Amino acid sequence: MNRRNHKIYVVTILTLLLFTTSMWGSGFHFIVSQYIFYRYLDDAGLPYPPVTTVSSREMTNVSAEQDRNKEAEAQAKAARLLSASVWVSLALGIFPSVIVGRLSDQRGRRLALGLTLLGQSLYSCTVALMIFLRLPLSLTILGSCFSGLLGGGAISFIMQVNVCLTDVTSTSIDTKVDLSPDEVAKRTRQERRRLVLLGAFDGTMALGAAAANGFIGSIVERYGFIESLLCMLGVFCCTVIFIWILPETGKPLANPVPNDTTLIPSNLPLNDRSNVCPTPSDLCAKFKSLLSSITSILSTHNPMSILALLVIFSINLVLLPENNYIFLYLMAKPFSWSPEQVGLFSALIAFLMAVLCVCLAGIAAWSMKTEPPVMTTNVGSPDQAEPSLVINSEEEEQIPLLCADRDHRHQILHNRLKMIIYAMVSLLAVVISRTMLGFAFLLPNPSCTVFVLFALFLNMVRSSLMPTLQSFLSSLHDATKQGQLFSLIGICNYASQLIGLPSLPAVYGLTTGSFPGAVFLLSACISAVSLVFSCVLLHYILKEMRATRIQPYPDAAIQQDSSQSAAI
């Protein structure tokens, strides 16, 4: 198998792996969240799904006010438990994710992916026993401990898949310092290819979530939780098979960094790599080296790297924790959605987001397509051609390099400008969508449902937000730092979830009885802060473009010198 076919095979396996993993993770999270809500409703003496119509309340002889208070209390408890379980997994998974990143570089990507999947499988087994045997709901916290300590959780798994993608797309073009027109075109194609693959991978994850939510909601409502878990077990087996047949991407496709003394080369024999994590002191030293690498990444392109990471951090603070309370919001009054309706609509939104993500990433990559810079010479009168003889041979060799350097720099900045504009449009859509969700509960049914549908459809514009921001950050650094860069993005995701997971569901739990939409208004404010960060980032890009534009072309300077020579 040649190199091109090998890359196609690896991308295909990674796509299938992401699809089944997203399908399994989304479906399992849907089952766990619905089961926790069901148990709290059952403990309060309320039916599942909650009784919301007036006729049903009269038939069951339940006071409407008492029912509403108990339902609000059950929603608050479910939101707190879900956020606490995920927060424990994240808090315990920060340091193991660093170890997984080192193992990925030293022992291979498959071992790292298998280790993270092992932690997720132990979490699933713990929660499955809780559902099968009707054990206490606090076992979800124990399962989250397994998920965090073994592999670092779901974010670590996604980051390792992104590293595999970096292995596939990183070639000698990224690190080769060549300003010829052919190399300029190759680098542009490389950036476009990365953007398309990142968008395709995010779209694949959304398709997996759509496939899971499309049928899990119906199975939970019609058959029960045990049957739903059995369906997810079959999907999990497919994930294990894809990891088993995935080729190792690190050794054949990525070049190790020779200057990093903390990394062990991947081509050493197994007996020379037995001390990957021998002692705690070695782990601390490797952790310090990772922090120094992160510091060097931040200082390389300051402040654009810092601003882009702030945008990723603030927007993930809003988007990642919303799955722990938005289904509770839609199942309460006045929306009164059933689990099947929540699942089907989530599947529809995820499917449309997947299609839109791939389309927008493709449009963004197409807009970045440019032709290589071409040197033009003016053929004028003999009087204009005569002074060109004063240019020596060294200047003739430097002119094409300087012109190509300026054209390449201007094209890179132009591509970054387009990506930031796409991100700003997506952030604006998130602000409007969250504001509409915050006030939707004030409207009567079915007007409130129409308002929510419009807000969630508007929210689909954010589907290309993360691929665009990741591609923007990737364009700021060369191929030797891509793995560390995605580890830094993963740390930002960890930090945003550590703050957002306990805080936003807690806000919903505190305000669900008085103003349920307060958490969405808070999310709109945080998204507006992200929009401000992106505006500042846009200002820096425009400033750098103006600085590049005012620099004269070498041929113009030469013509000026020639005219002065002719005048003399």
Instruction: Render pLDDT for 366-376 as a digit per residue (tens, 0 to 9).
Output: 655 554 444 44
Angle (CA) 10-13-17 rounded to 5° is: 135
Contact 219, 363 (CB under 8 A): no
**Per-residue H/E/C for 352-397:** HHHHHHHHHHHHHHHHCCCCCCCCCCCCCCHHHHHHHHHCCHHHHH
Structure tokens that stand for 40 in this block = 């709290």
| pLDDT higher than 80, residue 278 | no
| Fold of domain 3-54+63-252+289-374+391-554 | Growth Hormone; Chain: A; (1.20.1250)
| pLDDT higher than 50, residue 505 | yes
Which pLDDT band, with edges at 50, 70 and 90, does 346 fall under? confident
DSSP letter (8 states) at residue 332: S
Backbone angles phi and psi of 369, in degrees to 5? -70, 130
Cα–chain center distance at 40: 32
- What CA–CA distances, in Å, run from 520 to 68, 169, 234? 21, 38, 36
Instruction: Give pLDDT tens digits for 24-38.
Output: 888 888 899 889 989
C-alpha–C-alpha distance, residues 373 and 411, integer Å? 10
Contact partners, residue 246, CB within 8 Å, separation at least 6: 10, 13, 14, 17, 109, 110, 113, 164
Alpha helices in 44-63 (DSSP H): 54-60
Closest by Cα among 320, 297, 315 to 532? 315
C-alpha–C-alpha distance, residues 42 and 134, integer Å? 12
Which pLDDT band, with edges at 50, 70 and 90, does 203 fall under? confident
Instruction: Indicate the pTM of the whole model.
Output: 0.68
Higher pLDDT, 21 or 566: 21
CA diameter of the chain: 106
C-alpha–C-alpha distance, residues 180 and 185, integer Å? 9
Please state the domain extents for the chain.
Answer: 3-54+63-252+289-374+391-554
Instruction: Report the pLDDT averaged over residues 128-133.
Output: 91
| pLDDT higher than 60, residue 492 | yes
Contact 361, 465 (CB under 8 A): no
Contact partners, residue 354, CB within 8 Å, separation at least 6: 202, 203, 204, 205, 206, 207, 210, 463
Angle (CA) 155-159-160 rounded to 5° is: 120
Structure confidence at residue 50 (pLDDT): 59
Instruction: Give pLDDT tens digits for 142-191.
Output: 988 988 888 777 778 877 887 787 777 665 444 444 445 566 566 666 66
Which pLDDT band, with edges at 50, 70 and 90, does 431 fall under? very high
C-alpha–C-alpha distance, residues 366 and 368, integer Å? 5
Structure tokens that stand for 458 in this block = 């508007």
Which pLDDT band, with edges at 50, 70 and 90, does 298 fall under? low
* Residue 202, amino acid: D
Closest by Cα among 184, 216, 149 to 414? 184
Contact partners, residue 444, CB within 8 Å, separation at least 6: 334
Contact 212, 24 (CB under 8 A): yes
Phi-psi label, residue 535: left if phi above 0, alpha if psi -120 to 50, beta otherwise: alpha
Which pLDDT band, with edges at 50, 70 and 90, does 427 fall under? very high
Instruction: Give pLDDT tens digits for 43-58.
Output: 888 887 654 444 444 4
Task: State the residue for tokens 């005569």.
Answer: 386
Which pLDDT band, with edges at 50, 70 and 90, does 437 fall under? very high
Instruction: Report the percentage of the chain scoring pLDDT > 70.
Output: 68
Structure confidence at residue 184 (pLDDT): 57
Structure confidence at residue 387 (pLDDT): 42
